[in-house]
Amino acid sequence: MSKLVPPHGGKGLVCCKLHGSELTAEQDKAKGLKQIEISARTKGDLIMMGIGAFSPLNGFMGKADWKSVCEKYALADGTFWPIPITFDVSKADADEIKEGDEIALVRDGETYATMKVNEKYTMDESAKKWECEKVFKGKGEESADDKFWEIAMEDHPGVKMVMAQKEVNLAGPVKVLSEGDYPDKYKGVYLTPAETRAIFDERGWKDVAALQLRNPMHRSHEYLAKIAVEVCDGVLIHSLVGNLKPGDIPAEVRVKAIDVLVDKYFVKDNVVQGGYPMDMRYAGPREALLHATFRQNYGVNNMLIGRDHAGVGDFYGLFEAQEIFEEIPSFEPGKGLLCKPLKIDWTFYCYKCDGMASLRTCPHTKEDRVILSGTKLRKALSEGQEIVDHFGREEVLDILRAYYQGLTEKVEVKMQGAASGDTMK
């Protein structure tokens, strides 16, 4: 009998991926359906539905779900869900599709799913703006009423992604036919919820924490993971292997760096490294809730939430992603979020403490501390700056330096107040 938290939504793992003869038959049928080219984000969402990571979702959201998620953090049936999972098409394509039709969803020549279209609804500019204000607008300086739209269209990748969506959303259940190249490209790291649950059960774990990573693992990440190991049965170091914004470090480089770190600085029996295929939304607090939601499906009941989780620029307050867990409404049994936040204060290396510390444990001044952030590390590496002592493990920095030295084009990395440490008192 598993001791793990049940999957989100009370329906078990809802896996939309077909197998065996069903898969073969659906692949054959897909060849005769209208082909719709999908975005990288939609590809990632389909795979998440395919492997059960988005349980209880079995398809893309209709208008009622979209509106309820934006307004109430819930699907129309009252099940907690924090960010819309929608599928956009052009008006020209939508005009050729009737409700009840089946279509094939393809990207770069590969068919990822078939979909039965139950609903079509228009997303004009005002609807997209409303979604952005509900999902992406935070309490940070750049989200102020007089600044948000002036700054977001240039500097917020999530807002830009939504505003660039096509005119119509299609809703309906999907049958997923492919997981792309993730199982082969990240063999041993790309894990499904069923696979992580089997690993945790085999180890007898009950309380499991997840560390979300989109940046290379520096000393603060390592410290957070080790705090989780101390208070839980084990930790899932869970890297995003889907698409990131320009300038972020590719998944294969981050995975290699984590491998080295786990091998040399962790007790391996207490750590699992995994990867998941979703694209980042950069939605800060709302994305922290999404990270906790799908981690519950992976068997995780504690989500590590530190400073500026899933943030971008200065759109969010430093600990807004922690605070939002206390602000979401209550839900009926079986429909609420069971994965809880493991809240950690701002962490850093302190010379006077002679070790890693946080604002809760270190009584010294900012001048005594090495302020750690993924953005700060990427900027230093991109510009060939010397990396401050105690920022990262040397074995990890060697891998990252080699990556940056091999780049022919570099993207400017912009610093925000939190990443630079300017806002630390």
Kindly report whether the peptide bond that precedes residue 56 is cis, defined as omega within 30 degrees of 0.
yes
Gyration radius from the chain CA atoms? 21
Catalytic member of 215, 297, 301, 302: 215
Contact by Cβ (8 Å): 220, 372: yes
Give the span between the Cα atoms of 317 and 369, in whole angstroms. Answer: 21
Phi, psi of 306 (to 5 degrees): -105, -145
Residues in the chain: 425
Give the span between the Cα atoms of 69 and 324, in whole angstroms. Answer: 15
Q: What's the Cα-to-Cα distance from 353 to each of 177, 349, 358, 370, rounded to whole Å?
A: 53, 8, 10, 12
Active site annotation includes 215:
yes
Give the span between the Cα atoms of 381 and 248, in whole angstroms. Answer: 12
Phi-psi region of 264 (alpha: psi -120 to 50; beta: other; left: phi over 0): alpha
DSSP string, 295-360: HHHTT--EEEE-TTTT--TTSS-TTHHHHHHHHSPP--TTTS--PEEEE---EEEETTTTEEEETT
The residues pairing with 171 across neighbouring beta strands, listed in sequence order, are: 119
Q: In what order do the strands lie in the sheet with 369-371?
A: 355-358, 347-350, 369-371
Catalytic member of 214, 254, 286, 369: 214
β-strands 168-176, 119-122 pairing: antiparallel
Give the span between the Cα atoms of 416 and 215, in whole angstroms. Answer: 15
DSSP string, 167-214: SEEEEEEEEE---TTHHHHTTTTB--HHHHHHHHHHHT--SEEEEEES
Active site residues: 214-215
